[in-house]
Structure 1
Amino acid sequence: MFKTHDIVISNRPKTTPANILLYECQGIGFSNYGEYWRQVRKICVLQLLSVRRVQSFQHVRDGEVSKEENTGQSNKFGELLRRLEEQFAAFCVGDTFLFLGCLDVLSGLIGRLNATARAIDALLDRVIEEHTNRASSGSDDDDDQSNKKDFVDILLQLRKDGMLGAELSQDNLKAVILDMFVAGTDTTATTLEWAMAELVKNPTSMKRAREEVRSVAKGKLNIDMKDIEKMDYLKCVVKETLRLHPPTPLLAPREITEC
């Protein structure tokens, strides 16, 4: 069915939370199948999620880990993402019974969704502005500049050079950035929770994984990607966790466009 009728069931329903929180479903996750979706997907796969790009973002991951260790506090964006995930899964009466949509307004759900959307929009505007100002003020002959770009810098540079293959508005850009953050954090957190739960249930596996980590790390406080490549058993634990508890197969519903 998925092979023969994949286009028929390729779209996702545009619920009230999705429309309000995700820029009217302009990101890769909820936009309709078509030329725009293909272009955005191509941008994400080739420009943001390729092996070379992911490796080039190592300094960002190291910086975030160091920041978390030093402060011990979650940032504002993380709190907004958690609020978004909670409200995104909220039940909207108007999505099921159109004539009762006023109940969502009376219950305060629409107000909470709009408040979260405004907060995220303001934060993303500030992030894009900071990256734009940094790019315009940076020196062209700085050799380290290209190696210290995050994916927001990459998107802005591609849009500036006209290499995206599609004209992305400011809202389109923010929708893609938000999609990447939500998809990357939620699925990773879910997988980590299941991995720890399975290890707690299997003390022998936990002991073996712990011994491997300690033997590879050898007392180092920070573990880099080169160390992780040597942890074969830990990679098997992650793969088995994904096999037992895949985080995305039923994450978002589908809708049928033809009968």
Structure 2
Amino acid sequence: MVITDTHTHLYSEAFDEDRDELIQKALDMGVKRFFVPAIDSTYTKRMLDLKNKYPDHVFLMAGLHPTHVKEDFEAELAHIEKIVTENKYFAIGEIGIDLYWDKSFLREQQEAFRRQIQLAKNNKLPIVIHCRDAFDEVFQILEEQMDEDLRGIFHCFTGNLEQAKKAIDCHMKLGIGGVVTFKNGKIDSFLNQIDIHDIVLETDAPYLAPTPFRGKRNESSYILNVLEKVADIYKMDIEQVAQITTANSKEVFGI
């Protein structure tokens, strides 16, 4: 059984004390593929070092996280444009709009989102979207940018059924993580109405640990808890769900 974690920040400082042990633990449990999203240029070297250490298991993305879009976002975008020509990246992400923490850079977030979607299209890459308190703003730009080259993952999807269908219509797969295990997560109430071929699994480690680890540091091995919950929702064997969602990730990332 091969399980794919489509969103894990393995380079995070949260793992500095035991990163290798946690990666080996996940590998031993069948998590063989780790897709690693970017935050900003300060993490580029850590990400490349991680890829060099685990070349058969780590797949990198390049991008500027919306909460890190500030006055210097033009320089950050120039950095991304440069590194995608120098190294192998499998997506532009995580990108999008976040209005939960700060609304003062909305215009810059919108511009950075548009520009990075264009960069992804120009390089035939998928996008990985971060959206928090900004569904309307994200969908406005997705619909504006819609064409046959637009594809990707709506990371950590927490919307309703209508928004799920809208994301799929925009050529996105839904990233399902720890929230699906929460009692108040809500997505478990309608997920079985979504074709399983339209979802992928993720952890967002070290964030959003699934039940029973909620509130603690998340790890890629905890994707087994997400897998079990999704299998229960779809009334399928976990091996079958692992196979389908890994195939879905291969479709998105072009592997």
Shorter chain as denominator, the TM-score bin is under 0.3
TM-score by length of 2: 0.21
Please state which structure has a larger fraction of its residues in strand.
2
Higher RCO by CA contacts (8 Å cutoff, separation 6 or greater): 1
**Scaled by the length of structure 1, what TM-score is found?**
0.20
Quick check: which one's helix share is greater? 1
**Larger Rg belongs to:** 1
